[in-house]
Amino acid sequence: MRTRLCGSLRVEDVGAAVTLCGWVAKRRDHGEHLAFVDLRDHTGIVQCVVPGTVDVRSEYVIAVEGVVRPRPDGTANAELPTGEVEVGECVVTVLNPAEPPPFAVADRVEVDEVVRLKHRFVDLRRPSMQANLRLRATVNRALRAAMDRQGFVEVETPLLWAPTPEGAREFTVPSRLSPGACYVLPQSPQLAKQLLMVAGVDRYFQIARCLRDEDLRADRQFEFSQLDLEASFAGQEDVLEFVSEAVLDAAEAVTGVRPTDIPRMTWAEALDRYGTDKPDLRFGMELIDLTAVFEGTGVKAFGAASVKAIVLQDGAGLSRSRLDGITDRAKQLGAKGLAWFRVTADPGTGGDDPALALDSPLDRFLSDQERAGLLSATGASAGDLVLVVADEYRLACTVLGQLRVELGGRPVGEGPYRYVWVVDFPMFDGFDEAGNPVPAHHPFTMPHPEDLDRLESDPASVRSQAYDLVLNGWELGSGSVRIHRADIQSRVFSVLGIGEEEAQARFGFLLGAFRFGAPPHAGFAVGLDRLVAIFAGEDNIREVIAFPKTQSGADPMTGAPKPLAPGVLAGLGLQLIPSKG
């Protein structure tokens, strides 16, 4: 039907008779003797010249027969890769007329996202969306090739799984053959891939769909994709190597440059320096500890376990209302309050190196020693803004870590790419209502061997063999060495407050399988949507998903979710409870 693609034509093709197919991007009609039609396909746009009139409109699907020729002197278009040439003497065949699109198919046009999603098939014609889809395919291809090369075998795992409450809310699928019973859609293939290790698959991977019925965010959809992997007779070092290889291959496939090896940082260091377990290493602005400076202080607000600060360079000019807004944000993040200090040059001292002074409601409560200590510890200069949070250590860190990202010099758009492995996560993350520790990763995570003897006596201090991959402040994925021995597993369950009976009820099939020869194994999962979004320079994963949902979980195109047709529920043995109100 076609002999060439629109975006491929160059000066070398001059003289070639071509047939092109695509959509009308633009028609410029110059009367009965001349018309230009910009023809678009997935490869780009080329100008077609019709020696007469042509009855086409935007987004008509047409075929064009013509001859490639150089453009007349002075009419080349530097904006188009095909701009040196045009297709002349064109004969246009309308393959399918089209109604005017609800919005213009062009990257520069901003359109409400609901309108875009409702007409996603039009939205995806836009060059940037085409590029995102193809970028995603490139990443998938590179990841698959890397896993294949490293001896991993791709295995598909079930979408209809058994309810195994693990943390995230699951989507439920009622069974027709067993009325009243349900499958659930897997929040990840975690248990299936561990069973594949018991099954002797040795090295498994899958580009897996995962489904979680939790509230949506810019970086979270109900359904998302992971490069999921698991390896037998492998530990943390092996897994980090496998994943690095795959991710760096993908980066190279996309950018043409292979990043250097990925540095590592312990979880404790990430929290202390960046206030998060997913540090964005593209800029500094690290957290500064002022606890020693305010030891025994008379400033009531700083009488806390930990006092930490960040310096916003040239931030002293921020308005009072802006500072109030930042304070509100700190409170929203859980802080009791936020102290700010504008650093100014002391007008009383002159010369090349004037003394520094602080402008803050709290300044008059500071001792001279505290004032000097704050300035020297932060290294702030005139014109800077110092933000201080005094609280429990972890909260002070996380609040400032979040403000660092929101206020700091975080680069936008593509590159540079700063990867980091965050290792030595804590085994547990706080305590639940019953006083039991909550697993930071999942209950099959192997404790750090050096900390194993404190599992029962001091669980909060126990590190795990869990690790995250972070890129530019996004959590790209996480993994762990799994427990493969029954004795350690039962100790962990016991610490978690999961009794033998409950463990059997929830994970019995896995524990049962482990009795038949489970190899030591470890694994990981890389969030594909996030990886592709970062490579695409998008700050929202919806931009790299063909048909995403809105934040309330709706699809404006299909109308999902929708009530079921009458009779369908009954056929499943289900009945609706009238909603209140």
Partner RNA sequence: GGACCUGUGGUGCAGUUUGGAGUGCACGCCGGCCUGUCAAGCCGGAGGUCGCGGGUUCAAAUCCCGUCAGGUCCGCCA
Q: Can you give the binding site for RNA, defined by CB under 7 A? A: 26, 28-34, 36, 38, 47, 49, 57-58, 71-72, 74-77, 79-80, 83, 86, 88, 100, 102-104, 108-115, 166-169, 187-188, 190, 212, 214-220, 332-334, 402, 429, 438-443, 540, 542, 550-552, 554, 556
DSSP collapsed to 3 states, 501-534: HHHHHHHHHHHHHHCCCCCCEEEEEEEHHHHHHH
Nearer to RNA, 3 or 551 (CB): 551
Nearer to RNA, 108 or 364 (CB): 108
> 489 Cβ partners below 8 Å, 6+ apart?
444, 483, 511, 514
Structural Rg of the chain based on CA atoms? 30
8 A C-beta contact, residue 82 and residue 7 = yes
> 350 Cβ partners below 8 Å, 6+ apart?
none
Query: Rounded to the nearest whole angstrom, what is the least distance from the CB of residue 497 to RNA in the complex?
Result: 14
Nearer to RNA, 167 or 517 (CB): 167
Angle, nearest 10°, between helix axes 486-496 and 500-514? 160
Query: Rounded to the nearest whole angstrom, what is the least distance from the CB of residue 482 to RNA in the complex?
Result: 11
Query: Rounded to the nearest whole angstrom, what is the least distance from the CB of residue 36 to RNA in the complex?
Result: 4
User: What is the torsion angle, in degrees rounded to the nearest 10, for the CA atoms of residue 161, residue 165, residue 166 and residue 168?
Assistant: 90
Nearer to RNA, 163 or 167 (CB): 167
| Cα–Cα distance, 36 to 8 (Å, whole number) | 19
Nearer to RNA, 111 or 513 (CB): 111
570 by Cβ neighbours in 10 Å (0-12 / 13-18 / 19+) ranks as: exposed
Query: Rounded to the nearest whole angstrom, what is the least distance from the CB of residue 558 to RNA in the complex?
Result: 12
Query: Rounded to the nearest whole angstrom, what is the least distance from the CB of residue 520 to RNA in the complex?
Result: 19
Nearer to RNA, 227 or 316 (CB): 227
8 A C-beta contact, residue 507 and residue 472 = no
- The backbone torsions φ and ψ at residue 132, rounded to the nearest 5 degrees and listed phi first, read -65, -45
Nearer to RNA, 108 or 320 (CB): 108
Nearer to RNA, 158 or 571 (CB): 158
User: What is the torsion angle, in degrees rounded to the nearest 10, for the CA atoms of residue 345, residue 348, residue 353 and residue 359?
Assistant: -20
| Cα–Cα distance, 170 to 435 (Å, whole number) | 25
Query: Rounded to the nearest whole angstrom, what is the least distance from the CB of residue 344 to RNA in the complex?
Result: 30
Nearer to RNA, 211 or 356 (CB): 211
- Give 174-205 as a DSSP string: E-SSSTT-EEE--S-SHHHHHHHHHTT--EEE
| Cα–Cα distance, 186 to 171 (Å, whole number) | 8
Nearer to RNA, 356 or 503 (CB): 503
Per the listing, tokens 């904006």 go with 79
Select from 52, 51, 61 the least CA-distant residue to 25.
61
Structure tokens given for 414: 């593509």
Per the listing, tokens 């991007």 go with 25
Query: Rounded to the nearest whole angstrom, what is the least distance from the CB of residue 261 to RNA in the complex?
Result: 28
Nearer to RNA, 44 or 373 (CB): 44
* For residue 561, cis peptide bond before it (omega within 30 degrees of 0): yes
Q: Would you put residue 218 in left (φ > 0), alpha (ψ -120 to 50) or beta?
A: alpha
Query: Rounded to the nearest whole angstrom, what is the least distance from the CB of residue 492 to RNA in the complex?
Result: 12
Query: Rounded to the nearest whole angstrom, what is the least distance from the CB of residue 212 to RNA in the complex?
Result: 5
Nearer to RNA, 360 or 478 (CB): 478
Query: Rounded to the nearest whole angstrom, what is the least distance from the CB of residue 539 to RNA in the complex?
Result: 8
Query: Rounded to the nearest whole angstrom, what is the least distance from the CB of residue 114 to RNA in the complex?
Result: 5
Query: Rounded to the nearest whole angstrom, what is the least distance from the CB of residue 179 to RNA in the complex?
Result: 29
Burial 231-251 (b: 16+ CB within 10 A, else e): bbebebebbbebbbebbbbbb
Cα separation values, 438 from 359, 441, 458, 493, Å = 43, 9, 14, 11
